[in-house]
């Protein structure tokens, strides 16, 4: 296991993974916390989880000092650099292998729509996720995985199948596209993961086409919808290695998958119509589409995507009402709206909360975003609905342009209208230097609404 470039604290031994697996062997529960969160958010999560022990790196000591006295359940804090050896001397006795249905992990939800919840994952959930990953993608005997995104999220749990294969993990401490490309060359990286926003930055890097990326076998993308236009570009410029995963904290990572080969037709051409899909339902997972009254819809029907199987969480920590709501009618409700096509490919058309109802018509924000991303000046974008006296909600687009690009708003509206019609065309277009994002790169649509909605 190595530590790559990108700044941040100095390299330390890979004791974090020792902690993760040691927690399991001690019969305890792992609660990953992203140190990039605000101190108050981490205090809230640690309090919700009832954490008794906090293991941290020395560089985050000031963050720990801010919150430790506000956590009544916290009894032990361990700094990896200064107290690790002492802690090992008094470590808890290893217990028998935990049962598959024992609680193994509590993870905070993204918190992009309000107060985060704690998702309870069992050993069986993590085993299912790892098994699906190993079954769904190609693996060399000794994979090399480059982790750039926070290890407390998707990039971290993807380490589990790599470790199961005896692979090497190269960790980047800060997002740095130039260093990311350099490390792929230096370490002959075979697997990596980035959210779409960072992939767009890779595609915009001026030296991308000069880099030797021939070692790559699987470049995962996920955590947010990806532009089909940019995905096609990635397949051409990075290579036939792009691999999708769709999941959520409650059903980690692997509800559906699309291996690199599935991006192509049998004759070798890019399967353009398939690029907007989320792949096919994974092994060990049952996926269906449900109507508003709990009825399962036939193939092609649009409704909420629901899931069953050993991948699905045990429930929300200390929140039986939310657990019951998420598991209504005997299925886990993802909150995503979509459909399955005749070839069993899953298409996600929107988050239920992000659908815009304008003039009595349903407009899916992702469809408008896909149209906007086809414009050569657009680097990234987000579409939301804002209150409107005439339309009920007006389709509103917030656009981040490529470096040096300019665009006329009326021309942009016409560009979208030509592709998806006037009803779905944004009635309001904003051009911003950047978009508000969570610590894992998801665009915060709630922040957009707050900034664009006038106060009382």
- Encode pLDDT of 409-441 as tens digits: 999 999 999 999 999 999 999 999 999 988 777
Q: Are 140 and 217 in contact, with CB atoms under 8 Å apart?
A: yes
Q: Mean pLDDT, to the nearest integer, of 143-169?
A: 90
Determine, yes or no, domain membership for 66: no
pLDDT of 11 over the 60 cut:
no
Q: Mean pLDDT, to the nearest integer, of 96-106?
A: 84
- The CATH number linked to 197 is 3.40.50.12780
Q: Mean pLDDT, to the nearest integer, of 300-320?
A: 97
What are phi and psi for residue 412, nearest 5 degrees? -65, -40
Residues with Cβ within 8 Å of residue 219, at least 6 apart in sequence: 191, 192, 193, 194, 234, 238, 241, 242, 243
Determine, yes or no, domain membership for 307: yes
CA distances from 363 to 255, 386, 425 (A): 25, 13, 9
**Same domain (yes/no): 372, 324:** no
**Same domain (yes/no): 371, 239:** no
d(CA 209, CA 212): 8
Domain boundary among 351, 376, 405: 351
**Same domain (yes/no): 336, 367:** no
**Same domain (yes/no): 383, 262:** no
Determine, yes or no, domain membership for 372: yes
d(CA 186, CA 202): 17
Nearest to 134 by CA among 194, 191, 172, 187: 191
pLDDT of 191 over the 50 cut:
yes
* Three-state DSSP state, 281: strand
**Same domain (yes/no): 301, 377:** no
Q: Are 260 and 220 in contact, with CB atoms under 8 Å apart?
A: no
Q: Give 346-376 as a DSSP string.
A: EEEEEEGGG-EEETTEEE-HHHHHHHHHTST
d(CA 178, CA 181): 5
Confidence of residue 456 (pLDDT cuts 50, 70, 90): low
d(CA 37, CA 63): 10
Q: Mean pLDDT, to the nearest integer, of 226-250?
A: 96
Helices 196-204 & 177-187 angle (0-180, nearest 10) = 80
Residues with Cβ within 8 Å of residue 18, at least 6 apart in sequence: none
Domain boundary among 284, 316, 351: 351
Q: Which residue has the higher pLDDT, 220 or 101?
A: 220
**Same domain (yes/no): 318, 346:** yes
Most confident listed range (147-156, 295-304, 346-355):
295-304
Determine, yes or no, domain membership for 60: no
What is the span of the domain harbouring residue 416?
Answer: 355-452
Percent of the chain with pLDDT over 70: 92
The pLDDT mean for the chain works out to 90
Q: Mean pLDDT, to the nearest integer, of 87-113?
A: 71
Confidence of residue 9 (pLDDT cuts 50, 70, 90): very low
**Same domain (yes/no): 326, 377:** no
d(CA 434, CA 381): 9
Determine, yes or no, domain membership for 111: no
Determine, yes or no, domain membership for 267: yes
> Which of 2-11, 174-183, 349-358, 390-399 is the least confident region?
2-11
Nearest to 112 by CA among 456, 444, 450, 454: 444
Q: What pLDDT sits at residue 416?
A: 96
pLDDT digits (tens, 9 = 90+) for 240-285: 999 999 999 999 999 999 999 999 999 999 999 999 999 999 999 9
CA distances from 378 to 188, 229, 398 (A): 32, 11, 10
Confidence of residue 12 (pLDDT cuts 50, 70, 90): very low
Determine, yes or no, domain membership for 32: no
**Same domain (yes/no): 401, 261:** no
Determine, yes or no, domain membership for 110: no
Q: Are 342 and 299 in contact, with CB atoms under 8 Å apart?
A: yes
Confidence of residue 2 (pLDDT cuts 50, 70, 90): very low
Classify residue 83 as exposed, middle or buried by CB count within 10 Å of its CB (0-12, 13-18, 19+).
middle
d(CA 377, CA 196): 17
Q: Which residue has the higher pLDDT, 15 or 392?
A: 392
Give the number of domains in the chain: 2
**Same domain (yes/no): 360, 331:** no
**Same domain (yes/no): 150, 241:** yes
Confidence of residue 85 (pLDDT cuts 50, 70, 90): low
pTM: 0.86
**Same domain (yes/no): 360, 347:** no
Q: Are 412 and 375 in contact, with CB atoms under 8 Å apart?
A: yes
- The CATH number linked to 393 is 3.30.300.30
**Same domain (yes/no): 402, 317:** no
Confidence of residue 110 (pLDDT cuts 50, 70, 90): low
Q: Mean pLDDT, to the nearest integer, of 362-386?
A: 94
Q: Mean pLDDT, to the nearest integer, of 131-152?
A: 92
d(CA 223, CA 226): 9
pLDDT of 332 over the 90 cut:
yes
Domain boundary among 297, 330, 351: 351
């Amino acid at each position: 296991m190595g530590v790559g470039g990108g700044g941040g604290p100095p390299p330390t031994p890979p004791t974090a993974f020792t902690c993760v697996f040691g927690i399991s062997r001690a019969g305890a529960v792992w609660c990953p916390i992203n140190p990039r969160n605000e101190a108050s958010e981490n205090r809230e999560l640690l309090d919700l989880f009832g954490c008794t022990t906090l293991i941290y790196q020395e560089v985050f000591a000031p963050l720990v000092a801010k919150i430790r006295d506000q956590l009544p359940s916290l009894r032990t804090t361990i700094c990896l650099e200064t107290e690790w050896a002492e802690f090992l001397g008094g470590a808890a006795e290893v217990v028998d292998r935990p049962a598959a249905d024992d609680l193994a992990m509590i993870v905070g939800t993204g918190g992009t729509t309000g107060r985060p919840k704690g998702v309870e994952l069992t050993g069986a959930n993590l085993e299912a996720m790892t098994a699906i990953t190993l079954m769904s993608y190609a693996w060399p005997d000794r994979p090399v995985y480059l982790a750039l995104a926070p290890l407390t999220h998707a990039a971290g749990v993807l380490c589990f199948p790599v470790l199961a294969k005896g692979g090497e993990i190269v960790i980047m401490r800060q997002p740095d596209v130039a260093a990311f490309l350099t490390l792929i060359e230096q370490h002959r990286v075979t697997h990596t993961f980035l959210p779409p926003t960072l992939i767009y930055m890779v595609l915009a890097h001026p030296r991308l086409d000069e880099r030797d990326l021939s070692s790559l076998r699987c470049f995962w993308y996920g955590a947010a919808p990806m532009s089909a236009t940019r995905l096609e570009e990635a397949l051409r410029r990075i290579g036939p290695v792009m691999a999708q995963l769709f999941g959520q904290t409650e059903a980690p990572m692997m509800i559906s998958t699309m291996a690199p080969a599935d991006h192509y037709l049998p004759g070798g051409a890019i399967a353009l119509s398939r690029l907007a899909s989320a792949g096919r339902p994974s092994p060990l997972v049952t996926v269906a589409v449900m109507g508003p009254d709990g009825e399962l819809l036939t193939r092609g029907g649009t409704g909420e995507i629901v899931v069953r199987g050993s991948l699905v969480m045990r429930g929300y920590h200390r929140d039986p009402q939310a657990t019951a709501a998420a598991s209504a009618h005997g299925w886990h409700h993802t909150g995503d709206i979509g459909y399955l096509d005749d070839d069993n490919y899953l298409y996600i058309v929107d988050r239920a909360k992000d659908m815009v109802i304008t003039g009595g018509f349903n407009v899916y924000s992702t469809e408008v975003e896909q149209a906007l991303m086809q414009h050569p000046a657009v680097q990234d974008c987000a579409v939301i609905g804002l209150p409107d006296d005439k339309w009920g909600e007006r389709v509103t687009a917030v656009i981040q342009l490529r470096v040096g690009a300019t665009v006329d708003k009326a021309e942009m509206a016409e560009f979208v209208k030509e592709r998806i019609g006037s009803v779905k065309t944004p009635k309001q277009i904003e051009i911003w230097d950047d978009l508000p994002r969570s610590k894992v790169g998801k665009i915060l649509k709630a922040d957009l609404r707050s900034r664009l909605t006038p106060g009382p």
